[in-house]
Amino acid sequence: MTSIIGFSGPHFCVLNSENKPRFQVQVRSLGSKDSPVLSSDSVAVNGASVIKEREERRSLIDEGNERLRHKVNEEKRVKDGVLESLEPLWDDGYGTVTVKDYFDATKEMIKPDGGPPRWFCPVACGAPLKDSPILFFLPGLDGTGWGLILHHKALGKAFEVRCLHIPINDRTPFEGLVKFVEETIRLEHASSPNKPIYLVGDSFGGCLSLAVAARNPTIDLVLILVNSASSIERSQLQPLFPILEAIPDELHTAIPYLLSFVMGDPTKMAMVNIESRLPPSLKLTQLSRNLVALLPCLSSLADIIPRATLLWKLKLLKSAAAYANSRLHAVKAEVLVLASGKDNMVPSRDEAQRLMSSLQNCTVRHFNDNGHTLLLEDGINLLTVIKGTCKYRRSRKRDYVSDFLPPSMSELKYTADEVFGVLILKYMNVRVLRLATGSVMFSTLEDGKIVRGLAGVPHEGPVLIVGYHNLMGLELNSLVEEFLREKNIMVRGAAHPELFWGKSASSASFDWLKVFGAVPVTAKNLFKLLSSKSHVLLYPGGAREALHNKGEEYKLFWPNQPEFVRMAAQFGATIVPFAAVGEDDLLELVFDYNDLKKIPVISDYIKESNRDAIRLRDETSGEVANTDLFFPGILPKLPGRYYYLFGKPIVTKGKKEILKDKENANKLYLEIQSDIENSLAYLLKKREEDPYRSVTDRTAYRAIYSPMHEIPTFEP
């Protein structure tokens, strides 16, 4: 926000977690009015302007638990108090803060001060990226504003974070809170009219977000509704509300323990900082310790929501839901709804479907194993969800290149332990798959020598990696991961636009592809990636290769025209052909496209699902043109091994004029195609010489001698 002369703005404070007590508060006002004191022990009053506050905040970088290397790199990338860029595998701090920290933080915030609602900015958020949008967090019934504490450090890199604090004794009616938030976003919009404004509404905050959006349809808002309490009238707890009003004060101390099990999953909360790779016995031990440490904190819920406050907020919640629901038709904002499957407070799953059908631009993501307090539970990283649903942008329209945030170390670890983000086996543990396939990579040096590893792939971009697409894209995960681990390079894959703009965009199955850099394969995006000197992964054969028929393993299906050669030459990009072999050692193709088309019901389904699908190529593209998208019938096999070979780099720098000629470009195009076919043949032959091709032999060797990446293979 910026200060506007002559207008007093909403109250504002900055939380400094680097001083003692840990969550010390410093209050600032946005206009001529000074904010009242929050706590006499931990508050200083300062009427600084918003511009000065923003500059001071941007100069603060939360040191947290980052290693020295990360701190040095981050300092180098901070210019004039603003973070210029994020490196791949950056530290997002997820798992270093626990729910116990939430209770510790609220102790300072719940001290009565007689003040009105106000905004605060957690110093743990650190310095945001240049031109970052602003994010306002609207809390649930607790009103403390600390509901994002597990996500502060990650969100603080991508947003300027502001959290709403509603004091426990505040009795501002819902319309008053709407006007308060509305005034803030209007000031922010006036300051930065071309930037989106994010509203993260948790439970009650979801109603508040919807109400503000309905009243401001011309402002570019992105709403993230977390278990929105707009469904409170259908809550399974409705019969208990009259009982809560009748309970005497002496028994109110027992209410927090009841609410803790209704509103959230204590086990999920206690799992936040437990390493997923620990043995089960150690996991159980650490979980028990965390639960024991967490239980005493539950008594503080009686202080966070005392009896009078609870009764007031239940009434406030009903009026908020009625207000928001009556105005859903007026909401023009972009909306992302996060719904828990085990929400015992409100029917979040049903409400998510209702909101999706009622709102004009709504995306839904379900979290089946989480409770009402989703943002305080294990298994949810809010920034990852925003990235995976392509909701992060710095202007009115998302730019898939400039708005991309590289994956963090915690995201890489999560994909390795929990999910497989490619097109197949989405419920398969990726770490098990990686161990089973034992991927080994070779590259070719400039002198033609083949070596193990990626030394032959240029480190400096732009680099265009062109290759054969294995069945269902099975080669993608290991390829992207190895570039990150060995060279700290983010490979941006060009994917089918249907995953971004078609029916598939509504599926969470493809979110991890987007988190790890996939972009819609368009000439515009390829142009931007090469101009930004990126490493780009391109499959000319596209879906036709990835969805090939029986007997077509390792056969290239490329278009007739050299689609990428001249563009690579325009930017002086180095082209690296590559081949990957191993799909036939992992899966058995049982039903291909021709088989499925013979089954009437499935044939009709394929035809209907592709009716409005995005088409990439015209008829001149040959056999690769406009392949129908479908899921083939497959069966797993006893895994063999995956092999990759990156060919000798082809330098196009200085050849722009030569490759403008279609004949020269086509000649190079055919050479690249031939190079990949030769590499496929080479790998198919050489893998027969690998004594560790079998998963049993590799497992035995690894158990006795070395880590997976050091398991021997054939000599190139």
Question: Is residue 282 included in any domain, yes or no?
Answer: yes
Q: Is 346 found in the same domain as 231?
A: yes
Residue with the larger pLDDT of the pair 264 and 394: 394
Helix axes 174-191, 204-215, angle to 10 degrees: 60
CA–CA dist 33, 130 (Å, integer) = 30
Counting residues of the chain whose pLDDT is more than 90, the rounded percentage is: 51
The bridge status of strand 587-591 relative to strand 633-636 is antiparallel
Query: Model confidence at 25, in pLDDT bands (50, 70, 90)?
Result: very low
CA–CA dist 33, 217 (Å, integer) = 29
pTM, full prediction: 0.84
Q: Is 134 found in the same domain as 255?
A: yes
Question: Is residue 28 included in any domain, yes or no?
Answer: no
Residue 421's nearest CA partner among 511, 485, 499 is: 511
Question: Is residue 474 included in any domain, yes or no?
Answer: yes
Q: Is 424 found in the same domain as 298?
A: no
Instruction: Yes or no: say if 495 and 518 are a contact pair by the CB < 8 Å rule.
Output: yes
Q: Is 510 found in the same domain as 364?
A: no
Per-residue pLDDT of 310-363, as tens digits, reads 889 889 999 999 999 999 999 999 999 999 998 988 999 999 999 999 999 999
Q: Using CA of residue 297, residue 303, residue 305, residue 310, what is the dihedral sign? A: positive
Query: Model confidence at 68, in pLDDT bands (50, 70, 90)?
Result: very low
Question: Is residue 601 included in any domain, yes or no?
Answer: no
Number of structural domains (the chain) is: 2
Per-residue pLDDT of 442-461, as tens digits, reads 999 999 999 999 999 999 98
Question: Is residue 427 included in any domain, yes or no?
Answer: yes
Domain with residue 671: its CATH number is: 3.40.1130
Question: Is residue 51 included in any domain, yes or no?
Answer: no
Per-residue pLDDT of 618-642, as tens digits, reads 555 556 666 788 889 998 888 889 9
Residue with the larger pLDDT of the pair 35 and 490: 490
CA dist list (Å): 12 to 156, 194, 230: 17, 24, 27
Residue with the larger pLDDT of the pair 710 and 639: 639
Per-residue pLDDT of 196-255, as tens digits, reads 999 999 999 999 999 999 999 999 999 999 999 999 999 877 766 666 666 666 555 555
CA–CA dist 322, 315 (Å, integer) = 11
CA–CA dist 40, 27 (Å, integer) = 11
pLDDT of residue 501: 85
Q: Is 419 found in the same domain as 376?
A: no
Residue 673's nearest CA partner among 549, 580, 557, 568 is: 557
Question: Is residue 696 included in any domain, yes or no?
Answer: no
Q: Is 437 found in the same domain as 300?
A: no
Per-residue pLDDT of 87-130, as tens digits, reads 999 999 988 898 888 888 888 788 777 789 999 999 899 889 99
pLDDT of residue 95: 84
Domain with residue 158: its CATH number is: 3.40.50.1820
Helix (H) / strand (E) containing 162: strand 160-165
Q: Which amino acid is at 568?
A: A
Q: Using CA of residue 329, residue 335, residue 340, residue 345, what is the dihedral sign? A: negative
Q: Is 287 found in the same domain as 416?
A: no
How many residues appear in the chain? 716
The residue out of 355, 389, 423 marking a domain boundary is: 389
Question: Is residue 142 included in any domain, yes or no?
Answer: yes
Q: Is 674 found in the same domain as 535?
A: yes
Q: Is 196 found in the same domain as 334?
A: yes
Q: Is 225 found in the same domain as 105?
A: yes
State the Rg of the chain over Cα: 28
pLDDT of residue 660: 84
Domain extent, residue 191, equals: 99-389
Structure tokens at 175: 């319309």
Q: Is 271 found in the same domain as 341?
A: yes
∠ at Cα 169 (164, 173), nearest 5°?
Answer: 65
Q: Is 646 found in the same domain as 564?
A: yes
Counting residues of the chain whose pLDDT is more than 70, the rounded percentage is: 75
Helix (H) / strand (E) containing 702: helix 695-704
Q: CB neighbours (10 Å) of residue 25?
A: 24
